[in-house]
Amino acid sequence: MRVGLRPGSSSAADARAHGFTEADGTLGDWLEIVAASDLVLLLIADAALAAHHEEVFAALQPGATIGLSHGFLLGHLREIGSDFPPGHPVIAVCPKGMGDSVRRLYEQGRQINGAGINASIAVHADPDGTATDQALAWSVALGSPYTFATTLQSEYLSDVVGERAVLLGAVHGMVEALWRHFRIAGDDPVSAYERSCENVTGPIARTISAAGLDGVRNALDDTGRAVFDRAYSAAYGPARELVAEIYDEVADGTELRSVILAEARLAQRPMSPIAGSPMWAVAPQVRERRGTREAAIDPLTAGVFVATMAAQVDEFRHRGHPWSEIVNETIIEAVDSLLPYMHARDVAYMVDNCSRTARLGARRWGPRFQAAYEQIALPRATDEPDVELVAAFTAHPVHAALATAAKLRPPVDIGVPA
Amino acid sequence: MRVGLRPGSSSAADARAHGFTEADGTLGDWLEIVAASDLVLLLIADAALAAHHEEVFAALQPGATIGLSHGFLLGHLREIGSDFPPGHPVIAVCPKGMGDSVRRLYEQGRQINGAGINASIAVHADPDGTATDQALAWSVALGSPYTFATTLQSEYLSDVVGERAVLLGAVHGMVEALWRHFRIAGDDPVSAYERSCENVTGPIARTISAAGLDGVRNALDDTGRAVFDRAYSAAYGPARELVAEIYDEVADGTELRSVILAEARLAQRPMSPIAGSPMWAVAPQVRERRGTREAAIDPLTAGVFVATMAAQVDEFRHRGHPWSEIVNETIIEAVDSLLPYMHARDVAYMVDNCSRTARLGARRWGPRFQAAYEQIALPRATDEPDVELVAAFTAHPVHAALATAAKLRPPVDIGVPA
């Protein structure tokens, strides 16, 4: 195992701290490492991959395997009318969580059998018949307790759509909309935060992780369930409309063109952070109170959040994704990786500090979700519930799919140290 | 003059009411009318033009002139890799206001010399040397008191960007952000509406129409001007960032691809209206109070609005648009056509009832402006002002350009009957 870095990379110190050195040949210039490897794992940032993939391809040994950690490069190559070079196996092993969770669960796996992060594998090109074995071996080496098969295209679509929708973009828009909603209804800033952001990243995420999507509704008393059903009925439609729009734009390549245009603008002028929004000012106060009080599930917030998850599940199903991918990219990655991280740091911090592609996507689509909740869903959240829609939710096949996947969940604490 | 309509068009009754009849040949099937005309004015909806332009082109007489009222079709043809048919003059006469204003000012022109709406003309193809004369004649016939030259591409860009930014999208996002801002700060719903939406569509628009962009700042006392300068300083940057992003997406064709994707989805499922947002519930109360009290300019709202206009002016200038186009597409069309209409009906009504391309654009970008004001501008609106930015505003060349254009303003009431 050798680490290749671009000249001047800020990760060099980190690599040395983990025992990789120029002296023994385990650390070096990226193109030299590429030229010396039979399996090349391309783990650099999307923008760097878009800018430099031709140099990388040119440096490959004949027949060396191209390994990816998600499908972005495929989307980019299609957009520019290019392709992977022929004669090379192309595989992907895609952990269903952020890098921080991948590493932490891997470390926990030293002590606890079964720890590690779920991953999907994709075999995109298999010229010598070894691609599937290589992908499985890499996934096992990563400590994945549960590996499922998909295609690079399907992975790309669900990954990029998911981070714009319920994994990040929709969460940001939702907590901004709900915080303002509760503030205008008379809550003080801290209570409004506890009923919106804290609720989603705390009790709602934990309940889904332990008891499934329907576990949230089941945890409520009759009064709470009535509020949940109304909120669910009001939010499902506008959320579904937006997930479908995002899906169309990602599948068409429009979203990627936007990212590339943004990269060009950002070379001139940095992105303004969004963490100045007034709700984040009270986050430290809320975190301080955590030890002394357990926030209960807010039924309005729960209805809006679960409806958005269900909308993404249904849209992914409608577009033909396999169940393993649907539950991992919509639910498990959210409640076991991203929401616990946001619980520790807050949502705005995550938006301002995630990958460029995800950050741009969350900023493009988060406000659309906010507006859809404020202008369409919340004004209808006191109307009678749509009984057919609620019945479709309680009888939804996703509950069985998630329960099956949950049996394979690592038996460790997924939480993030503060 | 003959009117051609698609079979079953709901406009047939309207055409008959204005004296066009099948009997005398002045009303008929659109493709038959096209085949019988030497100047064909294509005034159908953008989506219809995108779907049917090939049939229209095929029906044209040799050498007949193609007349457009804005540049959308050029953008669409470029996007699909097509072009106008050779051998035909292609001209555009583009009124700087919505259809309602075009008609009303034309009617007023019967009594009042100089009434009519400003228009730009563009000559895109001139195979026989008559195109400019035809465009000028059409503009005069429309009653345009002030006609300026541009190109179809420049018109298209400023038109489509403008409606997504300060003409409509930014106004919607801004009033949603400001209403919630004032509500959270303690205002009752009616006062919050008067300080946000009512302020923009009423006193701010009227002051700019009568006294220019700097007239708003000059109308404030010292305390008000200090608030204005801080708000202007906080809002200019994020607004400029967004106008640049919209411009990139429109120029690249990405925005048009989104519209086409949306049209396909909307064939399955109608767009949800956005007028349910709680602020619009108090609009009738505010309108009722209009006779009894004159709302003063709110300096915070004024600073945010004028900064957004200035950002669009600067971005258009940066991209090379002529001054006539900049002041018409950014300021005059807003304060003399669209904002008076929104004052009479309200902003959400306008978003839900404008052309499909504009409606989709306002829904895509309005929430982005809302988020930028809420998350970036308003949290900084109490910081010290950026004195250089404010000095650049007070000395801005746009004031002289607008004053020159204002001399040609029709001497009539631009207001909309309630």
Same structural domain for residues A135 and A280? no
Last residue of a domain, one of A93, A127, A150: A150
Token output for A186: 């008379």
CA closest to A189 among chain B residues: B184
Do B35 and B2 meet the contact criterion of CB atoms below 8 Å apart?
no
- Are the C-beta atoms of A316 and A325 separated by less than 8 Å? yes
> What pLDDT is attached to residue B412?
61
Residues from chain B that touch A275, judged by Cβ atoms under 8 A, are: 375
Per CB-CB distance under 8 Å, the chain B contacts of A370 are 367, 370-371
What are A340-399's pLDDT values in tens digits?
989 988 888 888 888 888 889 999 999 999 999 999 999 999 999 999 999 999 999 999
pTM of the model: 0.92
Judge if B184 and B311 occupy the same domain: yes
pLDDT the model gives residue B130: 96
Same domain, B214 and B358: yes
Q: Is A249 on the interface with B (CB under 8 A)?
A: yes
Is residue B163 annotated as involved in ligand binding? yes
Interchain proximity B248–A238, CB inside 8 Å: no
Q: Are residues B317 and B171 in the same domain?
A: yes
Indicate which of A174, A259, A375, A380 best probes the interface with B, i.e. most B CBs within 10 Å of its own CB: A375
Residue written as tokens 């009539």? B412
Q: What is the mean pLDDT of residues B79-99?
A: 92
Report which secondary-structure segment, H or E, holds A163: helix A152-164
How would DSSP label each residue in A69-117? SSSHHHHHHHHTT--PPTTS-EEEEEESS-HHHHHHHHHHTTTSTT-S-
Inter-chain touch A252–B238, beta carbons under 8 Å: no
* Per-residue confidence band for B414, with pLDDT thresholds at 50, 70 and 90: low
Decide if A245 touches B, using CB distance below 8 A.
yes
pLDDT average, residue stretch B357-372? 94
Give the 3-state secondary structure of residue B56. helix
Gap from A277 CA to chain B (nearest CA, Å): 4
Asked if A371's CB is within 8 angstroms of B366's CB, the reply is yes
Q: What is the mean pLDDT of residues A87-106?
A: 89
B266 to chain A nearest CA, in Å? 10
Angle at CA of residue A158, ends A58 and A198, nearest 5° = 120
Q: Say if A414 falls within a structural domain.
A: no
Which positions in chain A touch B347 (Cβ < 8 Å)? none
pLDDT of residue A415: 53
Residues A126 and A186 in one domain: no
Q: What is the pLDDT of residue A412?
A: 61
Give all strands (DSSP E) within A84-220, no chain letters. 90-95, 119-125, 147-150
Q: Which residues of chain A neighbour B269 with C-beta distances below 8 Å?
A: 241
- Nearest CB to A184: which of B180, B275, B366? B180
User: Complex ipTM, two decimals?
Assistant: 0.91
Query: Which residues 158-177 of B have a C-beta within 8 angstroms of A?
Result: 176
pLDDT at B220 exceeding the cut of 50 = yes
Residue B345 is part of a domain; what is its CATH number?
Answer: 1.10.1040.10
What tens digit of pLDDT does each residue of B128-153 get? 999 999 999 999 998 888 899 999 99
Q: Do A371 and B176 touch (CB under 8 A)?
A: yes
Q: Which of A128, A150, A172 is the last residue of a domain?
A: A150
**Does the residue B156 lie in any domain?**
no
How do beta strands A90-95 and A119-125 pair? antiparallel
Residue B26 pLDDT class (50, 70, 90 cuts): very high
pLDDT of A67 higher than 80: yes
Pull the structure tokens for residue A369: 């979700």
How far from the centroid of its chain's Cα atoms is residue B316's Cα?
Answer: 14
Residue A39, domain member (yes or no): yes
Predicted local confidence at residue B105, as pLDDT:
84
Per-residue pLDDT of B320-334, as tens digits, reads 999 999 999 999 999
pLDDT at B102 (0 to 100): 86
A237 touches chain B (CB under 8 A): yes
Point out the residue among B244, B262, B379 whose CB comes nearest to the CB of A277.
Answer: B379
Last residue of a domain, one of B107, B130, B150: B150
Same domain, B221 and B186: yes
Expressed as residue numbers, the domain containing A109 is 3-150
Sign of CA dihedral A408, A409, A410, A412: negative
Residues A7 and A31 in one domain: yes
- Which chain B residue shows the shortest CA-CA distance from A237? B272
Residue B395 lies in a domain: yes
Is B91 strand, coil or helix? strand
Give the nearest chain B residue to A280 (CA atoms).
B375
Note whether residue A289 is domain-resident.
Answer: yes
